[in-house]
């Protein structure tokens, strides 16, 4: 065979591959546009979110509202004609806030009211509250450097703010949240009697942000609360002027006995490789303040909408698709752990898992938790999803509930909508239905439905 013929054959193969690929892309692009049209003309995510937020309301693990939300979602998924819908039993913690917290700052004959709320899982204070001078620190290192006798009996105030020059809210959160999650342990090691944490947000307002905290058995469990950023500024400036200023706070929260609860699972059986499972998940529990609209009502209704849309358009999936609404993401992750445990016990093969738990904002990035050099296959999907807001597919995958599936070989995929405002609402009274825009929410549904369609169609190899 001469060189010219060899060349011709190579060109022919190349054209063949290219046009096959190009035809597939064209077909995928049309399917996703159909999904968009269906969601934007008949989608019910916004109405569903209204119901979840306004009729059911906040739904912390163990609460009646959580049980109602589970039943409601179960029925919704049944009505959507999933091939099967079931509940996975799981024991969850049952933490209650009790009556509203109170806090005051006392300095030079002035008594200033502070906006606080108990951190999730925190113990309460004694009935009459706790009152003490305050040690303000920005880092654990700073706290560790202070002699124990100076901290003993005091309230520790962690005041490291969200850094302004970090591009994304999620990253700013990652750089500060250890104050909230580990602060009470660090403070208890030093003999402190209570903890105040600056709220995890870029916003300057009067909303304190709750969120899970932890204790260690080896140290006393001390009451811990979040303070609004505006009042954090007041507290810091007061302490500058008057190091003897005292804070008094009262909170009535406590951990009750564990309660039986459930993950909700719905499945579309794969037509060609039913044994390969793709999970699309969100968490059905929320914090007990606000309505859990962005966190994570938006994710829940998007998952339901993705399934409804595939069914309505009669798009059959080559691989099996599971919608999983996890319980207890906020203060225990029991749902995510249980799901992975059952997948292991039942020898299921999970090829990929996607979580939507970053608010009902415009889609921006999708992260596949693999090495950058393996991304090239998924990079070709950027064009398909770009019209619906996806700026880039990158390697920053992740998700609290789906994390435990990694051990079983699932590719962990994060759905990252635009994150500038998420932490304005996150874990506050202000996370309500009114702050979720209908079209932005729907764009998320489209991208998620499109993504599970693409994975189901093309696999992940």
Q: Which residues bind its own copies (CB under 8 A)?
A: 36-37, 40-41, 164-165, 167, 202, 362, 386-389, 391-392, 418, 420-421, 424, 437-440, 443
DSSP 290-315: S--IIIIIHHHHHHHHHHHHHHHTT-
| C-beta closer to its own copies: residue 249 or 443 | 443
Nearest approach in angstroms of CB 444 to its own copies is: 11
| C-beta closer to its own copies: residue 368 or 425 | 425
- Say if CB 336 and CB 402 are below 8 A apart: yes
CB burial of residue 434 (10 Å; 0-12, 13-18, 19+): exposed
| C-beta closer to its own copies: residue 33 or 377 | 33
Nearest approach in angstroms of CB 359 to its own copies is: 13
Residues 445 and 362: their CA atoms lie apart, in Å, by 10
Least Cα distance to 440 among 403, 406, 389 occurs for 389
Residues 155 and 159: their CA atoms lie apart, in Å, by 13
The CA-CA-CA angle for residues 437, 443, 446, to 5°, reads 145
| C-beta closer to its own copies: residue 140 or 425 | 425
Nearest approach in angstroms of CB 36 to its own copies is: 7
Residues 250 and 246: their CA atoms lie apart, in Å, by 14
Nearest approach in angstroms of CB 71 to its own copies is: 29
Which residues are within 8 A (CB) of 100 and not within 5 positions of it... i.e. 6 or more apart?
none
| C-beta closer to its own copies: residue 72 or 388 | 388
| C-beta closer to its own copies: residue 96 or 313 | 313
Nearest approach in angstroms of CB 33 to its own copies is: 9
Residues 211 and 331: their CA atoms lie apart, in Å, by 8
Q: Which of helix, strand or coil describes residue 182?
A: helix
Nearest approach in angstroms of CB 202 to its own copies is: 6
Q: In what order do the strands lie in the sheet with 411-417?
A: 84-96, 254-268, 319-326, 273-283, 349-355, 411-417, 363-368, 392-394
| C-beta closer to its own copies: residue 46 or 350 | 46
Residues 308 and 423: their CA atoms lie apart, in Å, by 29
| C-beta closer to its own copies: residue 149 or 164 | 164
Nearest approach in angstroms of CB 37 to its own copies is: 5
| C-beta closer to its own copies: residue 140 or 381 | 381
Nearest approach in angstroms of CB 340 to its own copies is: 34
Q: Which of helix, strand or coil describes residue 428?
A: coil
- Based on its alpha-carbon atoms, the radius of gyration of the chain, rounded to whole angstroms, reads 25
Question: What are the φ and ψ backbone dihedral angles of 137, each rounded to 5 degrees?
Answer: -135, 155
In sequence order, the β-bridge partners of residue 277 are 320, 350
Nearest approach in angstroms of CB 196 to its own copies is: 25
Q: What is the dihedral of CA 319, 323, 324, 329, to 10 degrees?
A: 120
| C-beta closer to its own copies: residue 387 or 398 | 387
Q: Which of helix, strand or coil describes residue 106?
A: strand
């Amino acid at each position: 065979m001469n060189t010219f013929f060899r060349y011709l054959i190579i060109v022919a193969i190349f054209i063949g591959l290219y046009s096959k690929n190009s035809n597939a892309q064209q077909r995928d692009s049309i399917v996703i546009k159909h999904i968009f049209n269906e969601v934007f003309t008949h989608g019910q995510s916004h109405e569903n979110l209204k119901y979840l937020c306004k009729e059911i309301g906040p739904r912390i693990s163990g609460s009646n509202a959580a049980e109602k939300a589970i039943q409601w979602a179960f029925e919704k998924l049944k009505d959507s004609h999933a091939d099967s819908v079931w509940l996975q039993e799981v024991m969850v913690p049952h933490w209650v806030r009790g009556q509203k917290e109170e806090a005051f700052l006392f300095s030079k004959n002035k008594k200033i009211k502070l906006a606080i709320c108990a951190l999730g899982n925190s113990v309460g204070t004694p009935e009459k509250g706790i009152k003490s001078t305050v040690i303000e620190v920005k880092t654990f290192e700073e706290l560790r450097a202070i002699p124990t006798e100076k901290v003993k009996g005091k309230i520790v105030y962690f005041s490291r703010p969200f850094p302004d020059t970090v591009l994304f809210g999620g990253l700013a959160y990652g750089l500060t949240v250890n104050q909230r999650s580990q602060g009470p342990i660090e403070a208890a090691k030093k003999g402190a009697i209570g903890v105040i944490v600056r709220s995890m947000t870029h916003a300057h307002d009067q909303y304190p942000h709750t969120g899970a905290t932890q204790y260690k058995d080896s140290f006393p469990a001390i009451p811990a609360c979040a303070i609004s950023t505006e009042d954090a500024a007041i507290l810091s400036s007061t302490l500058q002027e008057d190091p003897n200023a005292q804070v008094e706070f009262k909170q009535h929260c406590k951990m009750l006995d564990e309660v039986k609860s459930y993950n909700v699972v719905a499945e579309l059986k794969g037509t060609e490789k039913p044994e390969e499972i793709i999970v699309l998940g969100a968490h059905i529990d929320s914090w007990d303040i606000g309505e859990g609209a962005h966190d994570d009502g938006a994710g829940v209704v998007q998952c339901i909408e993705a399934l409804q849309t595939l069914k309505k358009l009669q798009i059959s999936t080559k691989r099996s698709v599971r919608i999983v609404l996890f319980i207890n993401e906020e203060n225990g992750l029991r749902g995510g752990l249980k799901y992975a445990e059952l997948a292991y016990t039942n020898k299921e093969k999970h090829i990929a898992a996607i979580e939507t738990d970053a608010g009902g904002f415009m889609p921006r990035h999708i992260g596949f938790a693999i090495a950058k050099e393996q991304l090239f296959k998924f990079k070709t999907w950027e064009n398909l999803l770009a019209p619906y807001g996806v700026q880039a597919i990158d390697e920053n995958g992740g998700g609290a509930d789906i994390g435990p599936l990694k051990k079983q070989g699932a590719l962990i995929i994060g759905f990252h909508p635009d994150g500038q405002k998420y932490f304005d609402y996150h874990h506050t009274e202000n996370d309500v239905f009114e702050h979720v825009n209908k079209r932005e929410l729907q764009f998320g549904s489209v991208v998620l439905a499109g993504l599970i369609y693409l994975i189901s169609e093309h696999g992940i190899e």
